[in-house]
A and B are shown apart, each in its own frame.
Chain A
Amino acid sequence: MHNSCGEKDRMWSVARIIRFIFALAAAALLASCATGAAPSRMVPNAMDAPRADAASPLYQRIVVTQVGGGEETNPLMVSKVGNRELADALRGALERFDYLAGPDRRADFALEAFLVDLKQPQGAYTLIVDSHIRYKLLSIKDRSVLLDDVITGSAKGTLNDALVGSTRLRMTTEASIRANIAEFLSRLPRLEISGK
């Protein structure tokens, strides 16, 4: 009888340990679940591109009209960039650099963006994420195209950025989009738009 109780206790202990291991594994899985890229972290920093000149025809005159090519993030897969996140990031960037038409300013130019490709390597310590976005900037008045190009942005993420692979990939993806938008913004002052 006594032996049987001891056996039962041992079995309970083993069951508790197994439950604990499962709970730990579930917690680890949840902690490493992929989350989508955050728009605020895809907006370039103030030093990454020049601000719009107040004399420029583009100054506070651009509106984001169409964004496509994004993908929603599946928590069990890798972090992606959705259309809404990319659109929000573009609006945030245009606003930060004084290109976004505000509620009291008439928009003269429409920006369309399409995420052509997002290369996200996995299974390495150092990650390089490449994003290819097509930007099309049009005059709203006559639909003439001011800029139409596929711009590439790259970013490198290392173990110093994040130890957890899914976090490192998300951060590097955001940095890649940030670099891409910064390159787009840096082209705007060079556009010939006189008379538009």
Chain B
Amino acid sequence: MRTATLLFLAFLTGCATPTGYVKSDPAWSPNYGYRDKPMGGNEFSVSFTGNRHTGAQRAAEIVLLRAARLTREQGGTHFVILKEKARAMEAVQLTTLPVVGAGFAAFVPVREQAALEPTAILLIQVVPGQKPVPPEAVDAQSVIDRLGARYR
């Protein structure tokens, strides 16, 4: 019974938390977190979608942090933002209620609820370390220093 109560509390806590700096997982959480794709050359798309508890500023900061870390992973020091988009997208969530009985546990669908979920997209160009840095380029390390501690 104690385990069931803990599971129930964990479920409730998990739902009310904003999405953090996590990579979206195709199996467990395909829609929330960050994703990036190579676009050819040194260009990459970086996107982030948060749940309904995630603010627009948080989404923008996480996508920026991901872009900075991706730049470092690619051996660059700076990146140029080619395009940026931020929107709150309508989403429908199915609210379920955990039902725990003798020897079984199940989530019963209760109702559907409309919500707004933030999406932030950056198209970036990584500036390779040995190349001259354009004036509009963003210093990846300074972004990591500023936001890295906030979103681990």
Contact = CB atoms under 8 A, between A and B. Distances in A.
Interface of A: 66, 68-69, 77-78, 114, 116-117, 119-128, 130, 132, 134, 148-150, 152, 154, 156
B83 A149 contact: yes
B37 A128 contact: no
A120 B83 CA distance: 23
B45 interface: yes
Given A124-B93, A154-B89, A116 B30 contact: no
A150 B89 contact: no
29 contacts: A68-B37, A68-B39, A69-B37, A116-B47, A117-B47, A117-B121, A119-B89, A119-B119, A120-B30, A121-B31, A121-B91, A123-B94, A124-B93, A124-B94, A124-B112, A125-B112, A128-B89, A128-B90, A128-B91, A128-B92, A132-B47, A132-B119, A132-B121, A134-B39, A148-B83, A150-B123, A154-B89, A154-B90, A156-B92
Interface string B30-67: 11000101011000010101000000000000000000
A78 B131 CA distance: 41
A127 B37 contact: no
Interface string B115-145: 0000101010000000000000000000000
A132 B93 CA distance: 21
B45 A134 contact: yes
B87 interface: yes
B101 interface: no
A150 B121 CA distance: 9
B45 A114 contact: yes
A187 to B, nearest CB: 15
**DSSP majority for the A interface?**
strand
Contacts of B103: none
The secondary-structure label for the interface of chain B is strand
Q: Which 7 pairs from chain A and chain B are nearest by CB?
A: A124-B94, A126-B92, A117-B47, A116-B45, A150-B85, A130-B89, A119-B31
Contacts of A120: 30-31
B150 to A, nearest CB: 24
A69 B89 CA distance: 21
Given A127-B92, A128-B92, 12 more contacts: A114-B45, A116-B37, A116-B45, A117-B121, A121-B31, A124-B92, A125-B94, A126-B112, A128-B90, A130-B89, A132-B47, A150-B123
Contacts of B39: 68-69, 114, 134
B26 interface: yes
